[in-house]
Amino acid sequence: MSALVRLTEVSKFYGNIKALQDVSLEVHPGEITCVLGDNGAGKSTLIKIIAGLHRHDGGSFEIEGEEVSLGSPREALDRGIATVYQDLAVVSLMPVWRNFFLGSEPTRGRGPFRRLDVAAMRETTRTELARMGIELHDVDQPIGTLSGGQRQCVAIARAVYFGAKVLVLDEPTAALGVKQSGVVLKYVAAARDAGLGVVLITHNPHHAYLVGDRFVLLKRGAMAGSHAKSEIGLDELTRQMAGGSELEQLSHELERAPVPDVIGGRRMDVPDASGVSGASGVTGASGEPGGSGASGISGASGASGASGASGEE
Amino acid sequence: MSAQTAAPAGEHVAGRSYLRRLVGRPELGAVVGAAAVFLFFSFAAESFLQASSLSTVLYASSTIGIMAVPVALLMIGGEFDLSAGVLVTSSALISSMFSYQMTANVWVGVGVSLLVTLAIGFFNGFMLTRTKLPSFIITLGTFLMLTGLNLGFTKLISGTVSTKTIGDMEGFDSAKALFASHLTVGGVDLQVTILWWFALVALATWVLLRTRAGNWIFAVGGGADAARAVGVPVNRTKIGLYTAVAFCAWISGQHLLMSYDVVQSGEGVGNEFLYIIAAVIGGCLMTGGYGSAVGSAVGAFIFGMTSKGIVYAQWNPDWFKFFLGAMLLLATLLNAWVRKRAEASK
C-alpha cells in the first residue's frame, strides 16, 4: 500500500541553524501517525513543511508517490493536506459559517454578480457540525464564543468536509481540559475511520498512545525513534519521550541536590523515587499519583514535576 | 443526542438571538449616536432641519464619506493608511498639472492621475506585505513623502503653491459634470458626490458581506495567520485594499479639482484622521476583523452634522474638535466592549 505522505530524510535549515535533519515518516489512509517531541524538537518545523508554509531543504517529500516541494498552504490544500493549528485554527471574530468555508467559499452567479452562496453555507455548516455532534442554534455567532474543544472540532469538520486526504493536527489537545481532550480525540479517531491519514503532533504520549498507529519521536530536530504501535508500549514511549538517558542523568543530579522542605515534608516517596536508579523509577512515579502524573510526563523531568506539585498546593 | 429536546427551546433562542444579533451589529452604536446628534442640532439650530441645510450636511458628509468607505474596509483588514488624506491632493495635483503642462484634454490628466494614484496605493500595499513593517510606519512614510512632493512639484512647475486654472480647457465641463456637478431633486440642490458616496457604500457592503473578497478582508484583519493557513491570499487582499483606498482618493481628488478648477498643494493634511475617525465611530475595530461600510457612512454623517450643525447653531467652530474627540472616545469604548463580548470563550 502506498503512503499518502512520505517524508524521507527531510531537512530544514534557517540560515546556519539546523531546525530539522533527516526526519522520515509515513502517513497511510485510515491511520494516525503521531509526532512526539519536547518544545524545540522541530515539531512545528515539520508541520510547516507538510502544510506548505516552508519548503524543505533536503531529503524528499512525496504526496501519493509524487515528489513535491510545497510553496504555499493553498498548494497543500489542493493536494488534500489540511492542517489544523492549535491556536490559529479559526478567526474568532467571524461567524461560525464564514469560518467554516474560509478560503474555499462556494459562489453562485457569474461575473460581477458572482456572490457567496450564503444560504448553502449556513445550512452546510449546521448539518456538518451536527454530524460531529455539535448542535448550534446560531451559526452566525462569532466562533470565538465556542469552547476551545468545539473550535478544534469545527476545524476538523471543515477539513473532512473539504475532502482532505491527510489531516495534520498541531497539538489539538494542548490547551484543553481532560474532558475536552477526549472529545477532540474522538473526532480525530472519527476522521481516521473515515479513511483519512492523520498526523497528530503532540507532547502528550498518553493522548498519542490512545489513538496512534505509529509514533515518530523528535529530539533537537532529529529523529529519536520511529515505532509501530505493536513494537512499543506506553511506558517505553513515555520514557523515550521524557528523554530516556537524559532523565537518568537528571535524576542522578537531583539525587545530590538538597531536597526542599516543601517537597520532602509533603511527599514521602520523593527521596525514595530519586533513590531508585534510572528512568524506570521516574516512569513508575509518574504513573502512580493521579493528578501530578500528567505534569510529570509533559514536563519530561522530575524537576518540573516536583516544582509543579509544590506550586499547586 | 439532545437535538430533540433542544428543538422546541430553539424557537425562543432564535427570537432572543435576533435581538442579540441586532445589538451585535457594528453600526448600532453609530446609528444611536447619529440619532442623538441629529436630535440635538434639530433643537439647538433652527435652520438645521431646512432642506438646504441638510443638503449641505450631506455634502460635507460625502466628502469625508467617500474616503471613509475604503479606509473602513482597510481597517477591517487590519491596516491603516495615514497617506490617504494627502493622496487625495496628490491625485488632484497630478490631474491638474498633467493636463495643463501637456495642454492635453482634461480627461487625459484624469486618466494619468488614476494610474499614478493606483500605483501609489499599490506601493503602500506592496511595501507592507514585503517588509512586514507596521502599516503605521509605511504609510507615515508615504504621507510625508507625498506632502513634500505635492509642495515641491507644484512650486517647481507653477511657481506658486497652487496649480494654474484648467477651467477653460477642453473636457473640463464633462469632467466637472461627473465629479463636481449639482443635481436638483425635488427643489433641493444636491452635490453629485452624495451619489458617489452612496454608490460606494452600497458596493463596499456588497463586497464585504456577499463576496469571497469580503470574507477574506474580515479574515486577514481578524487573524492573518489563520487565514493564510486555510489558503486565503493575505498579501493580495491587503494590496487590493490599499488600491481601493487609492481609487477613492482619485475620485475625491478629481472632485476637489473640478469644483474649484485649481488645487492648493498643501491641502489634505490631517484629513486621514477624519476618515479613520469616521470608520471607528462607525464601529470598525482599530485592531481589524470587525466593522462595516454602512457604519463608516454613519460615522461620516455624524461628522457632517457636527461640523455644519455648529455653524447653524451659530457657535464658535472651535468646539467642533471637542465634539469629534468625545465621539471617538465613546465609540472606541463601545467597540472594545463589543470585541470582548465576541471573543469571550465559554
Q: Give me the number of domains chain B comprises.
A: 1
Checking if the pLDDT of B40 tops 80, the result is yes
Residue at B249 is within a domain: yes
pLDDT computed for residue B97 by the predictor = 92
Mean pLDDT (chain A, rounded): 77
Write the pLDDT tens digit of every residue in A41-87. 888 888 888 988 888 888 888 888 888 888 888 888 888 888 888 76
- DSSP conformation letters of A13-52: EETTEEEEEEEEEEE-TT-EEEEEE-TTSSHHHHHHHHHT
pLDDT computed for residue A300 by the predictor = 39
Residue at B8 is within a domain: no
Write the pLDDT tens digit of every residue in A140-181. 888 888 877 788 888 888 888 887 889 898 888 877 778 888
Domain that holds residue B232: 28-337
Residue A74 to residue B231, Cβ atoms within 8 A: yes
Q: Chain A residues with CB inside 8 Å of B344's CB? A: 144-145
Scan residues 210-229 of B and list those with Cβ closer than 8 Å to A: 210-212, 214-216, 218-219, 222-223, 225-229
Q: Which of A20-24, A125-129, A150-154, B237-241 has the highest mean pLDDT?
A: B237-241
- DSSP conformation letters of B287-329: TSS---HHHHHHHHHHHHHHHHHHHHTT--TTHHHHHHHHHHH
Q: Which H/E stretch holds residue A216? A: strand A214-219
- Residues B226 and B222: their CA atoms lie apart, in Å, by 9
Residue A275: pLDDT band with limits 50, 70, 90: very low
Scan residues 83-102 of A and list those with Cβ closer than 8 Å to B: 83, 85, 88-94, 98, 101-102
Q: Please state which of the ranges A241-245, B29-33, B342-346 shows the lowest mean pLDDT.
A: B342-346
Distance between first and last Cα of chain A: 52
For CATH 3.40.50.300, the residue range(s) in chain A are: 5-241
pLDDT computed for residue A256 by the predictor = 65
Checking if the pLDDT of A285 tops 70, the result is no
Q: Which H/E stretch holds residue B172? A: helix B172-180
Architecture of domain A5-241: 3-Layer(aba) Sandwich (3.40)
CATH code of the domain in which B207 resides: 1.10.3470
Residue at B9 is within a domain: no
Write the pLDDT tens digit of every residue in B68-99. 999 999 999 999 999 999 999 999 999 999 99
Residue at B3 is within a domain: no
**Cβ distance A165 to A197 under 8 Å?**
yes
| Tally of CA atoms within 13 A in the half-sphere of B249 that contains its CB | 34
Nearest by CB to A145, which of B222, B339, B346?
A: B346
Write the pLDDT tens digit of every residue in B278-321. 999 888 988 899 899 999 999 999 999 988 998 898 888 888 88
Q: Which residues contact B179 (CB under 8 A, 6 or more apart)?
A: B192, B193, B251, B254, B255, B257, B258, B259
Nearest by CB to B17, which of A83, A133, A137?
A: A137
- 3-state class of A286 per DSSP? helix
Q: Which H/E stretch holds residue B34? A: helix B28-44
Q: Which residue of A has its CA nearest to B225?
A: A88
